[in-house]
Chains A and B, each alone.
Chain A
Amino acid sequence: MKIIVIGHGMVGHKFLETLGAIDAPHLAVTVLCEEPRPAYDRVHLSEFFAGKSADDLSLVAPGFFDKGNVLLKLNAKVVAADRAAKTVTVGDGEVLGYDKLVFATGSYPFVPPLPGKERTDCFVYRTIEDLEAMLECGQRSKTGVVIGGGLLGLECAKALRDMHLATHVVEFAPRLMAVQVDDGGARVLRKKIEELGVTVHTQKNTLEIVDGEDGTHRMRFADGSHLDADMIVFSAGIRPRDELARACGLTLGARGGIAIDDSCLSSDPDVYAIGECAAWNGQVFGLVAPGYDMARTAARHLTGSAATFTGADMSTKLKLMGVDVASIGDAHAITEGARSYQFTDERKQIYKKIVVSSCGKYLLGSVLVGDAAEYGTLLQMMLNRIELPESPEFLILPQLEGNARPALGVDALPDSAQICSCNDVSKGTICAAVCAGAVTIGALKSCTSAGTSCGGCVALVTQVMKTEMKKQGLAVNNHLCEHFAYSRQELHHLVRVGKVKTFPELLEQHGTGLGCDVCKPAVASILASTWNDFVLTPVHAALQDTNDYFLGNIQKDGTYSVVPRMPGGEVTADGLIAVGMVAKKFGLYTKITGGARVDLFGARVDQLPLIWEELIAAGFESGHAYGKSLRTVKSCVGSTWCRYGVGDSMTFAIALENRYKGLRTPHKIKFGVSGCTRECAEAQGKDVGLIATEKGWNLYVCGNGGMKPRHAELLATDLDEDTAVRYIDRFLMFYVRTADRLQRTSVWRDNLEGGLDYLKQVVIDDKLKIAAELEADLQHVVDTYSCEWKNAVTDPETRKRFRHFVNSNQADQNVVFMPERGQIRPATVEERARVTIPIVLARSA
């Protein structure tokens, strides 16, 4: 059966994913996508301005279109549909036949018919191309105005603020977010947004846009006032893209949109419509969750299952410009007999309202602004008609000391309760996944997709997970290994608070057995980051993995590589010569690393102290390439030399590398510092990244390379260096304290309850009141730093360990080198068997 899908947005792709999950090999699907790129997350579009790229926002799993039965055509706009002939015509003239047709054309941004709306530097906010154009314009703009103070308009305002424009929101109605939020909530919302530096104008009717004096444009309003701006973005609502459907004779809804029945079928039994282009019972749904529901319904119906769409709950929770806003059900208390309870705290800028049925037993709706912690609970109560407690007002009143807020035990939810509406994941599905072994948020996200779209359900998913684990008698088991019944975080706490200084002490107090290759290095790292003793004192040496034991990176043949530190990648000519002379003297293989420093290979264990002595004499220190520690701070050359640089990235990078060198962390960490937005140092791929702007430094965190690369996220903007360092101190020590063993910052952040927001609260707002401690702990490491190589070569007892045989000066016969490209390489096992005299004689100590 030939299926043509018109449109490849979020809902179109969900349709394809659902079809893919239903094993239906007889289907041949062609997807005609108008945009130049496949489906991406339009809900999180504003993250584009916070550093996410178009690729980061892609919703298409790698290899999705390689299976062969789904063909995606990009830049393929459908210009006509002929339902009698059952064909569609693409813009380039191609005509394609179908057995079933699916409209997933979405909506277009409504632009009010204002004179001047066609002017350059006026934009709409929908596609990546729109955003790229906005970004370009933003670089040469001072003031930006968003017309429309709804959900999307406020997202857009945040984007303008992220571009450092003086931002205004102009709204026709008397309040912001008029659909979801009531008067009381809108008042609080407006105040919070204004405090974030956005000017809000309500009850403003724009008449025309003409040339401005203090900006490219002048907006003239009906009340006689005006506003000048360099950039205008229209976000005044969406309208369904039903023009194609209209032209081919399909029935439309009263207010537009392709009319569909409960199976998502249009007036033509071979044509479906899903998402924002469809109208069900005259209603068009502007949220992604109902669209996903329609996509699933259509896919199932098309493949012969019974599936119905019966409308959607339009409840939503989001974060707008850092402000929590949530709206549930009948937020405006329109239901006959409904009664409201309201709570406003003008100091904390919180507004909460619940709408209760006339009998008082059921929750009909709610509005939450400033604090939406109860959203999950209230939503479930409304959806599942769970009876309210005797005094429902306590659901939203602040908790008094000692009184517990009447909680909704997750147990009160039936298995069918939909926890994640974007991906239609029920409580039952999550519980089954937990029983099958998914016992972290990261794992649940992977196997159920819950929490991976809008993210609003993550708190509730966590509650369901923990309750189920308790029921199964599963302790949250992230015991380090068989020797310690504690997580790494707990062990760190025990070490720190109990002032435990050695592994034998820890083993005696809290462990069993002899320890092993899992817990020894983990504890070594905890001890190092807490007390910072020399890692090779005998009691600590026994804990070290070979790399940290010999302060080099073991290679496949048992030799080690040597990496001297070159902070920021800067090195003098004399330094390079010295390193080169060492390489020649010891016959080492040389290579520049990805971290912008020199790596020397082929060193035998007994040669290491000699090599280090010469490097130390030339002014070098250990580069800790062997440690789970700071590797490098990658830097561009910055404003000192570069014509584009706006910040001195070189000096800052060197200062940072010298500050954090020697710190041991749960896994290796890498920094990047770029002197301008061209980002030559790739700071956005690093655990800690800094990018210079005219206003200071933007700080990014939790980026990683490796098997699953991940972009860093923006933590704070416009920082001076001192503040940036303080935040980095706190961030690093918080990571050291709470991460799991060998957990990189990206994975750690994904598993933090509350994610990036929580991280910001801890690091910037000091929500846990530990900032001073974290800074002091880090300062201790800085103050007690000393070069490990130097310590090793100057301590005779440590130095004695650097030999292959304890009872002979003979070299390891197993180490054999061959020549390659003018240097050495290790011989393979086969080559070693053949060679009787080594080609390159190893020099003896």
Chain B
Amino acid sequence: MQRDLHIDTWTAVCNLDEIVPNTGVCALFNGEQVAIFHVDDGAQQVYAIGNYDANSGASVISRGLVGSLGERIVVASPIYKHHFDLRTGECIEAPEHSVGTFRARIAEGKVWVGA
């Protein structure tokens, strides 16, 4: 398993309890808007993807409803309900509008985002 060479680019963006469970928040990370989701289905997991919904031109993906579609964990952008895969950033209905992903983890009660 390769070592993470950019370990110093992990940034704590907020406390975990600042995110209502199973919702998202938006963080400013290296000048970019990142949508961070806290999924709590027994296990705690955080995901981070781009916040810009190109289907509408609004930076709002963090405000969408989280859920599952088959095996995928997704968020539905609030404007037109396009679904974005939290693991891959893929926009299911319009793959050309897929977003980037960021590493995210929980440590010491905080949420960390890495490039």
Contacts and interface: CB of A to CB of B under 8 A. Distances in A.
A229 B41 CA distance: 75
Interface stretch (B2-10, B19-27, B94-102): B19-27
Interface string B76-89: 10110101000000
Contact of A520 (B21, B67, B74): B67
B107 interface: no
B13 A517 contact: no
Contact of A804 (B23, B26, B66): B26
Interface string B1-41: 00000000000011000111111011110000100100101
For the residues of B in contact with A, the DSSP-based class is strand
A400 interface: no
B78 A546 contact: yes
B81 A814 contact: no
A805 B68 contact: no
A520 B14 CA distance: 26
A546 B60 contact: yes
Contacts of B79: 554, 556
B23 A542 contact: yes
Contact of B65 (A483, A516, A808): A516
B56 interface: yes
A696 B99 CA distance: 60
Contacts of B28: 805, 807-808, 810
A638 to B, nearest CB: 40
A517 B76 contact: yes
Contact of A514 (B23, B58, B73): B73
Interface string B32-63: 01001001010000000000100011111001
A800 B18 contact: yes
Contacts of B81: 517
Contacts of A807: 13-14, 27-28
A521 interface: yes
Nearest to A808: B28
B14 A515 contact: no
A814 B14 CA distance: 22
Contacts of B56: 556
A491 B20 CA distance: 25
Contact of A482 (B27, B36, B60, B70): B70
Interface centre among A544, A549, A558, A812 (most CB of B within 10 A): A558
Given A542-B21, A557-B58, A558-B59, A521 B65 contact: yes
B20 A801 contact: yes
A483 B78 contact: no
A113 interface: no
Interface in A519-547: 519-521, 538, 541-547
Contact of A545 (B27, B65, B68, B70): B65
Contacts of A829: 57
Contact of A541 (B20, B41, B57, B78): B20
Contact of B66 (A514, A546, A812): A514
Contacts, number: 97
B59 A546 contact: no
B57 A806 contact: no
A513 interface: yes
Contacts of A482: 69-70
B64 A806 contact: no
Nearest to B83: A517
B18 A806 contact: yes
A769 B39 CA distance: 44
For the residues of A in contact with B, the DSSP-based class is loop
Given A806-B26, A807-B13, A814-B59, A514 B65 contact: no
A545 B65 CA distance: 7
B109 to A, nearest CB: 14
Contacts of B39: 514
B72 to A, nearest CB: 10
Nearest to A798: B20
Contacts of B83: 517
A806 B19 contact: yes
Interface in A482-531: 482-483, 513-517, 519-521
B16 to A, nearest CB: 11
A806 B27 contact: yes
Interface string A739-755: 00000000000000000
Nearest to B60: A558
B21 to A, nearest CB: 6
A194 B30 CA distance: 83
B3 to A, nearest CB: 27
A805 B78 contact: no
A5 B13 CA distance: 77
Contacts of B60: 546, 554, 558
A75 to B, nearest CB: 49
A538 B67 contact: no
B20 A542 contact: yes
A554 B64 CA distance: 12
Nearest to A537: B20
Contacts of A542: 20-23, 66
A554 B83 CA distance: 18
A711 B21 CA distance: 44
Interface centre among A538, A554, A806, A810 (most CB of B within 10 A): A806
A514 B21 contact: no
A832 B58 CA distance: 11
B6 to A, nearest CB: 19
B62 to A, nearest CB: 9
A482 B70 CA distance: 8
B14 A806 contact: yes
B65 A517 contact: yes
A369 B69 CA distance: 54
Contacts of B23: 541-542, 549
A179 B63 CA distance: 68
Given A545-B78, A554-B78, A558-B60, A517 B67 contact: yes
Contacts of A521: 65
A218 B1 CA distance: 105
A546 B23 CA distance: 11
Contacts of A550: 63
A549 B70 CA distance: 25
B106 to A, nearest CB: 14
Interface string A794-820: 000000110011111010101000000
A544 B78 CA distance: 11
Interface centre among A513, A550, A807 (most CB of B within 10 A): A807
B19 A556 contact: no
B1 to A, nearest CB: 28
A514 B68 contact: yes
Interface centre among A483, A801, A805 (most CB of B within 10 A): A805
A515 B63 contact: no
Contacts of A556: 56-58, 79
Interface centre among B52, B65, B83 (most CB of A within 10 A): B65
A180 B28 CA distance: 80
B13 A812 contact: no
B49 to A, nearest CB: 15
Nearest to A809: B28
Identify the 3 closest CB pairs spanning chains A and B, nearest first: A516-B67, A546-B78, A517-B76
Given A545-B65, A805-B28, 16 more contacts: A515-B68, A517-B67, A521-B65, A538-B20, A541-B20, A542-B21, A544-B65, A546-B63, A547-B78, A549-B23, A554-B63, A804-B26, A806-B36, A810-B28, A814-B58, A814-B59
6 contacts: A514-B41, A542-B21, A801-B20, A805-B26, A814-B57, A814-B58
Interface of A: 482-483, 513-517, 519-521, 538, 541-547, 549-550, 554, 556-558, 800-801, 804-808, 810, 812, 814, 829, 832
Interface of B: 13-14, 18-23, 25-28, 33, 36, 39, 41, 52, 56-60, 63-70, 73-74, 76, 78-79, 81, 83
